[in-house]
Amino acid sequence: MSQEAALSFVGRVVTDKDFADRLSSALSNLTDPAARAGRLSEFARKQGYDVVPDELVPYLPPVPAELAEADLEKVAGGVGGFSAPAASRLALLCSGTGGSPAYAMDCVQLNPSRNRN
């Protein structure tokens, strides 16, 4: 268990579509949270990431109240043995855009000034 393993695992889920698809398949047909958590850990370990579901909690945003769990499951298939809707949000990140469309942060001007080239 380590922060680095969790960081690597989440990073792989959101940048490697094949990996995310395999994770999604591994968790399909599992509805019991404990079973999903167990399968997630097993999947991660098999892939070389010593991660437990609790370590992924910081990466999961709160669930908007207006979104039903079932809706999110339908969208993303559900990932993780933790809060299914929140995990689905993480899975949504793997949907091709690589970023959640739910947050309108492109209006923020942070004045990046440095070109490192």
Partner 1 sequence: MQLSLSSWVAERQLEDGAWVVFAPHRSGLPVLVDTVGHALLDAFAAGPIEMEAAVRRVSEAIPPGMAGTVDAELRVLTAAFFSRGFLVTGPEPGRHAATAPEMASRSLAVWLELTDSCNLSCGYCFVRKGGLAMTDEILQRATGAIVSTAVTRGVKEVEVRLAGGEPTLVLPAMERAHDLLVKGLGAAGIALRVTVVTNGTCANERLLAFLRRPGVTLAVSVDGVGAAHDLHRIFAGTGRGSWEIVASNIDRLRADGVRLTLGATIGEETCTSFPELVEWAVARQLPIVLGPVDTPESPWRGERPDRGDYGRYSERLIESVEGGFRVLERHLEAGTAVPDLVISQLGFDHPFSAWCCGIGSGYVTVTAGGDVASCPRTARERVAPLGDDLITVAASLFPYSPAERNGREADECLACRWFPVCAGGCPLMNLLVDDDPCSRSPLCEFRRYVIPRYVEYLGKRLLHEVRRSGGRMPHMFQKLGG
- Selected range binding partner 1 among 10-18, 29-37, 41-49, 68-76, rule: CB under 8 A: 10-18
Of positions 11, 22, 34, 35, contacts partner 1 by CB under 8 A? 11
Instruction: Please tell me whether residue 46 binds partner 1 under the rule CB under 8 A.
Output: no
Torsion over CA: 20, 23, 25, 28 (sign): negative
Comparing CB distances to partner 1, the nearer of 4 and 29 is 4
Mask: binding to partner 1, 78-107, rule CB under 8 A, as x and -?
------------x--x--xxxxxxxxxxx-
Q: Residue 32 has what DSSP assignment?
A: -
Least distance (Å) between residue 40 CB and partner 1: 16
Burial (0-12, 13-18, 19+ Cβ within 10 Å), 63: middle
93 three-class SS:
coil
Give Cα 28 distance to the centre of its chain.
Answer: 15
Alpha-carbon gap, residue 77 to 91, rounded angstroms: 8
Lookup: tokens for 11: 């990073």
- Selected range binding partner 1 among 14-22, 33-41, 47-55, 76-84, rule: CB under 8 A: 14-22
Alpha-carbon gap, residue 58 to 87, rounded angstroms: 11
Residues engaged in binding partner 1 (CB under 8 A): 2-4, 6-12, 14-18, 58-62, 90, 93, 96-106, 108-110, 112, 114-117
